[in-house]
Amino acid sequence: QVQLVESGGGLVQAGDSLRLSCAVSGRTFSNYAMGWFRQAPGKEREFVVAISRTGGGTIYADSVKGRFTISRDSAKNTVYLQMDSLKPEDTAVYYCAAKFLVSSIRPDDYGAWGQGTQVTVSS
């Protein structure tokens, strides 16, 4: 079973940057596409970005395109989310998720989830 542990959330001001990390254990990291999702209070969980098993393919939500960057480090079994030019509307709990083989933008396609990390952006 895949285990995911996120870290790196916090309280920042609009325009600041944060980098989230997601450490993966329990299965072969290279077999899994990875995604980041977020959920704001009173809203459904939404797709943010996904990266393929090799790291060669990425998909970004329009709302974060050009500001967020996903990457993965196979030596550390870790996926990162670099978030720049943060906006108050980025405030949410951010979740890392793993999907066997092929990436997806649908939360229901992901079989393993981390516990989430809070990101709060003040105006």
Q: What is the mean pLDDT of the chain?
A: 97
Scanning the structure block, which residue is given the tokens 């709060």? Answer: 120
Q: What amino acid occupies position 43?
A: K
Residue 29: count of CB within 10 angstroms of its CB: 21
| pLDDT of the residue at 116 | 97
8 Å CB contact between 48 and 81 = yes
From first CA to last CA, the distance across the chain in angstroms is 40
- What pLDDT, on the 0 to 100 scale, is given for residue 2? 94
Residue pLDDT, tens place only, 66-114: 999 999 999 999 999 999 999 999 999 999 999 999 999 999 999 999 9
